[in-house]
Amino acid sequence: SGTVQKIEGDFGEIVGSVVTQLEKKAKEKGLTLSFDRPVGLLVEGNETQLTQIVFNLVDNAINYSNEGEVKVTLELEHGVVEFRVQDSGLGIGSEHLPRIFERFYRVDKGRSRASGGTGLGLAIVKHLVELHGGEVGVESALNRGSTFSVRLPGRRDDSL
C-alpha cells in the first residue's frame, strides 16, 4: 500500500528467529547455516515484513545451494544496518543480475517451477526494503555463489 506501520525492534532477533526456523532445512541438504548474532541492532520497521525479507533471502540461498555454507551476517556501520546472505550455490550469470528483482523474472525457469517458485520472492524483497527506506543489492558469479545485501537505517542500542 505504500505505508508501513513501524515500531523499533532488534533486527538481530528477527534474523536469528528466521535462521533458527530454517536450520533443519539447511541441515537436510547438507549445508552449514551460520549466523553470528549481534545484540542491539535496532531498526524501525514492520516485524512481519522484515521477517519476510529475511526469510525470502535465506530460503533462496538454501534452495539454490547444493553444498557448502549459507552465511548470514548483520552489522552496523555509519547508521546503517547491513544484512547479508552469502551462499556457495549456483550463482547468477551477470546477464541476469539487472533483472532479478523484477516481478516474475526467473533465472532458471525450469528449476524455479520445479521447486515451486513464482518469480515474486525477490521483487517482494525489493519492494519491502524500499518501503523501509532501505536498498537491496546482489553480487554473484556462476558456480561461485551469491551475496544478497539489505541496507536499512538503524542504530545500536547502547543500553545493552
Give pLDDT, residue 38: 84
Give the separation between CA 109 and CA 86, rounded to whole angstroms.
22
What's the confidence (pLDDT) of residue 33? Answer: 98
| pLDDT score for 113 | 44
Mind listing the pLDDT tens digit of every residue in the chain (160 residues)?
Answer: 567 788 999 999 999 999 999 999 999 999 999 998 888 899 999 999 999 999 999 999 999 999 999 999 999 999 999 999 999 998 988 888 887 888 876 776 544 444 556 668 899 999 999 999 999 999 998 889 999 999 999 998 877 5
Cell numbers for 11, please give them. 533486527
Residues 6+ away with beta carbon under 8 Å from 41: 10, 11, 12, 74, 75, 76, 81, 154, 155, 156, 157
Q: List phi, psi (to 5°) of 8.
A: -85, 135
pLDDT score for 112? 47
Residue 5, C-alpha cell as written in the block: 506501520
End-to-end CA distance of the chain: 35
Q: What is the dihedral of CA 40, 147, 117, 100, to 10 degrees?
A: 110
Q: How far is CA 58 from CA 3, 7, 32, 126, 153, in A?
A: 25, 23, 12, 14, 21
